[in-house]
């Protein structure tokens, strides 16, 4: 039985996540039973996630919504680079993996964890001050 209320809930959750969508496929087996396959897709990500029930999809979408990144593609972020210097760069792509957001930047090798990125230089400096005060 198709639960249209759950499909609508999944659609609403997906609408809150930028560049996410899902597809539902039904396959009739030789014994006339239906097999469902649900695929969660994200633009800029090659790996799609597959689910057997709509409840599994809803759970994943809720987890993704909780871990949603505060940044968008083309935003400029501030972070402390490998050389311990403050840097700013423009976001090229944001990937979510295991509940963590990884930010890929233009002209930068590697990525920056979203939890280590800031909207302004002042916000970054204040976070550094707070961190060093907590180390007393």
Beta strands 112-113; 34-42: pairing state: unpaired
- Going by pLDDT thresholds of 50, 70 and 90, the confidence category of residue 9 is confident
Residue % of the chain over a pLDDT of 90: 4
pTM: 0.49
The string of DSSP codes covering 18-80 is: TTEEEEEEEEE-TTS-EEEEEEEEETT-S--EEESSHHHHHHHHHHHHHT--S--TT-EEEEE
Q: What is the pLDDT of residue 120?
A: 92
The predicted-structure confidence for 17-66, as pLDDT tens digits, reads as follows 767 778 888 888 888 887 877 887 766 555 567 778 888 888 887 777 66
Q: What is the pLDDT of residue 54?
A: 84
């Amino acid at each position: 039985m198709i639960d249209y209320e759950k499909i609508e809930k999944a659609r609403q959750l997906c609408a809150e996540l930028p560049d996410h969508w899902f597809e539902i496929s039904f396959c009739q087996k030789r014994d006339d039973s239906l097999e469902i396959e649900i695929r969660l897709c994200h633009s800029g990500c090659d790996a799609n996630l597959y689910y057997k029930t709509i409840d599994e999809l809803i759970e994943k979408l809720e987890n993704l919504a909780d871990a949603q990144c505060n940044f968008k593609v083309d935003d400029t972020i501030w972070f402390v680079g490998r050389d311990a210097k403050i840097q700013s760069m423009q976001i090229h792509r944001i990937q979510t993996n295991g509940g963590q957001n990884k930010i890929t930047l233009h002209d930068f090798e590697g990525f920056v964890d979203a939890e280590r990125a800031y909207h302004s230089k002042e916000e970054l400096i204040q976070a550094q001050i707070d961190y060093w005060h907590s180390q007393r």
